[in-house]
Amino acid sequence: MNLTLKIWRQNGSQDKGRMVDYQVSDISKDMSFLEMMDVLNEQIINKGEEPVAFDHDCREGICGMCSMHINGEAHGPDKGITTCQLHMRSFKDGDTITIEPFRAKAFPVIKDLVVDRSSFERIQQAGGYISVNTSGNTQDANAIPIDKHAADKAMDAATCIGCGACVASCKNASAMLFVGAKVSQYALLPQGQVEAVDRVKNMVAQMDLEGFGNCTNTGACEVECPKGISLENIARLNREYFKANVKG
């Protein structure tokens, strides 16, 4: 199929940036979206111009590196996938596709479609861990039985890949789903209880400091999350935060 691509080009964080049109032809429906971008870049390089910079790595939907806004949706039109898992069979011959970086104050553009998500790193550093040193003398893994339902729920929350689609989809650019997922994983497990109060307070404080917006419960994050992280995690985050503040 033949397509028109409208792509955001921005040469560094100081550049203003603009949309540029490109044509690609003979695109197979079995190609992934990023393979289509490879074809485009090969074409641009052969013309002697600079290819479009975009983040990508594992190309199997788990590393969370790829991050495009395609036709106004994070990771494109299909549900429950990342951009690298999107296939061209989701588009039609003659389509015009708009490709932009994730947009949020806390995710400044580095170049073209590449954004800086180090704000997520700093939130995790504020409390996204259990303080246990490596020793070889921790208690046996089966010493504390954990209710299967709780373990499964913790796993569901832990599947977050940190891509930032939740932030990019939220009209307030809120990071509540991302933070909620991590807080929930530990809140659901006995190992996470000891530091629960400090963890939620510190992570939320860092989230606010980074300039993410507030949550107004519109649920766009859940809809666009490639891993289907549930809004339940935001509710749990609010509960944990409230509990922590009551406890002091």
Smallest distance, Å, CB 78 to other proteins?
8
**One-letter amino acid identity for 60?**
E
Smallest distance, Å, CB 173 to other proteins?
18
**One-letter amino acid identity for 238?**
N
Smallest distance, Å, CB 223 to other proteins?
17
Inter-residue contact 120 to 162 (CB < 8 Å): yes
- Write the DSSP string, 6-30: EEEE-SSTTS--EEEEEEE-S--TT
| Half-sphere exposure at residue 212, Cβ-oriented, CA atoms within 13 angstroms | 28
Query: Which is it for strands 96-101 and 68-70: parallel, antiparallel or unpaired?
Result: antiparallel
Which CB, 141 or 246, lies closer to other proteins? 141
Burial (0-12, 13-18, 19+ Cβ within 10 Å), 222: middle
Which CB, 130 or 223, lies closer to other proteins? 130
Which CB, 126 or 167, lies closer to other proteins? 126
Which CB, 128 or 213, lies closer to other proteins? 128
Smallest distance, Å, CB 218 to other proteins?
26
Going from the C-alpha of 227 to that of each of 6, 22, 36, 112, 166, the distances in angstroms are 27, 31, 23, 25, 11
Smallest distance, Å, CB 158 to other proteins?
5
Which CB, 32 or 98, lies closer to other proteins? 32
